[in-house]
């Protein structure tokens, strides 16, 4: 037995020296240390020995097992390290090489300004609401005190859709302004009411540098008891000063919109020359900003509100024109051109 152990030790150590690859190492393990390997064979043979020999050779065989397994592990580690350093070499990364940059998009200038407008009105207690772009003739016109045969219909050239609206609301149209939401909001939320409605509107117009067929407006509506034009003046002055971050002036002129009475146009002091007179304001010191006025009693009634108890005002301004003014954009068509050379400037 002693000889056999010596022989096995010698042979196993010599064989381990010859191992050159992980495949060799696996074969080596099977031959000497595996379940049917030579060392396991010797261990199994111990049971036939006398108790005394069992003790002596049992210990020696176990020591040999520990020695061979230890050397096997060391060899195995050597191979693993070699493999890792090889793969590190293959996957070498040049940390000084310039990275690949991903292009990030950003919010379109129109909606950057819209978000700002919404934030300012929200700070003043207004809610932001939404309405459909495809409207009924009733909400776009009749409900707003513009009957079918009224010449005021010609103020807004309309895209009609070849389909009737629900109920008795006439044809479907692409809304020509955000004003239909005055009635929708009154019906939906009741009074008191303080809302703005930003949104896209459509008119059958020939386009030029300042006119588009598709543009954005912001509607505003405030209804409560004892509401007057003084509130409109206060809200709009505060809004414009917060938006342009400077002291400004506003003025009212008479204006005509069938859904307000009295109807007004609001001008603001020219933001380019602060009212001194320049090319933009055509030396007047004023820039036309929006239509507005006290909500007509017919419109309040259409919204289910009693005009003897409640009053209010409404306004509507062109968000697209405001954006043009804000950034000095000289042609409205750039905004919807989809031209990245334009959009990337904001
Ligand atoms: C209206 O649309 C009214 N609904 C506004 C209103 C609301 C008055 C509430 C009173 C009470 P108007 O047609 O003037 O009004 O349009 C409002 C704004 O939209 C204009 O001041 C202008 O800034 C913008 N606008 C009108 N037509 C165009 C167009 N073709 N392209 C770009 N902006 C336009």
Q: Is the CB of 267 under 6 A from ligand 1?
A: no
Residue 183 pLDDT class (50, 70, 90 cuts): very high
Do 60 and 5 contact (CB within 8 A), yes or no? Answer: yes
Do 58 and 46 contact (CB within 8 A), yes or no? Answer: yes
pLDDT in tens, 85-107: 888 888 888 889 888 888 888 99
* Gap between the Cα atoms of 332 and 320, Å rounded: 7
DSSP string, 156-218: S---EEEEEPSTT--EEEE-SSSTHHHHHHHHHH-SSEEEEEEEEEE-----BTTB-SEEEEE
* Gap between the Cα atoms of 280 and 223, Å rounded: 35
Q: Which residue has the tokens 């003084």?
A: 230
User: Kindly report the CA angle at 177 between 214 and 185, in degrees rounded to 5?
Assistant: 130
Distance 177 CA to ligand 1 centre (A): 7
Q: Is the CB of 312 under 6 A from ligand 1?
A: no
Q: Is the CB of 198 under 6 A from ligand 1?
A: no
Report strand pairing: 286-295 vs 160-164.
unpaired
Enumerate the CATH 3.30.930.10 domain ranges in the chain, comma separated.
109-133+179-343
* Out of 50-54, 178-182, 233-237, least confident range: 50-54
Q: Is the CB of 319 under 6 A from ligand 1?
A: no
DSSP string, 138-173: HHHTGGGT--TT-GGGGGS---EEEEEPSTT--EEE
Mean pLDDT along residues 53-81: 91
The per-residue pLDDT for 234 is: 98
- Ligand 1 atom nearest the C-alpha of 322 is 23
Distance 76 CA to ligand 1 centre (A): 81
Residue 260 CB neighbours (<10 A):
25
The per-residue pLDDT for 249 is: 97
pTM of the predicted model over 0.85: no
- Nearest Cα residue to 287 out of 268, 306, 304: 268
Do 326 and 117 contact (CB within 8 A), yes or no? Answer: no
pLDDT in tens, 140-173: 999 999 998 888 888 788 999 999 998 889 999 9
Q: Which CATH architecture has domain 109-133+179-343?
A: 2-Layer Sandwich (3.30)
- Which of 318, 320, 332, 335 to mutate for ligand 1's pocket (most ligand atoms within 8 Å of CB)? 318
């Amino acid at each position: 037995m002693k000889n056999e152990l010596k022989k096995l030790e010698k042979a196993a150590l010599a064989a381990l020296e010859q191992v050159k690859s992980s495949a060799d190492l696996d074969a080596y393990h099977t031959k000497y240390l595996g379940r049917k390997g030579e060392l396991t064979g010797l261990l199994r043979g111990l049971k036939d020995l006398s108790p005394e020999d069992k003790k002596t050779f049992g210990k020696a065989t176990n020591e040999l097992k520990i020695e061979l397994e230890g050397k096997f592990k060391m060899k195995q580690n050597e191979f693993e390290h070699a493999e890792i350093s090889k793969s590190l070499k293959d996957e070498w990364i040049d940390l000084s090489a310039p990275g690949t940059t991903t292009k990030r998009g950003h919010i379109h200038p129109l909606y950057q300004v819209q978000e700002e407008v919404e934030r300012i009105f929200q700070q003043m207690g207004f809610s932001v609401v939404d309405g459909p772009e495809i409207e009924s003739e009733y909400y776009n016109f009749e409900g707003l005190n513009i009957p079918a045969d009224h010449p005021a219909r010609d103020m807004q050239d309309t895209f009609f859709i070849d389909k009737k609206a629900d109920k008795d609301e006439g044809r479907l149209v692409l809304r020509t302004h955000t004003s239909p939401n005055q009635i929708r909001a009154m019906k939906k939320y009741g009074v008191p009411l303080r809302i703005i409605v930003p949104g896209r509107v459509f008119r059958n117009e020939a386009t030029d540098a300042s006119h588009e067929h598709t543009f954005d407006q912001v509607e505003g509506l405030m209804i409560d008891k004892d509401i007057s034009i003084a509130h409109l003046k206060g809200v709009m002055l505060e809004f414009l000063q917060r938006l342009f971050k400077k002291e400004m002036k506003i003025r009212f002129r008479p204006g005509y919109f069938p859904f307000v009475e009295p109807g007004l146009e609001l001008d603001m002091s020219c933001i380019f020359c602060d009212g001194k007179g320049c090319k933009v304001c055509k030396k007047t010191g004023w820039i036309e900003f929006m239509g507005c006025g006290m909500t007509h009693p017919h419109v309040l009634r259409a919204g289910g509100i009693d005009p003897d108890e409640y009053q209010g005002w409404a306004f509507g301004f062109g968000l697209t024109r405001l954006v043009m003014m804000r950034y000095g954009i000289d042609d409205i068509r750039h905004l919807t051109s989809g031209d990245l050379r334009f959009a990337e400037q904001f």
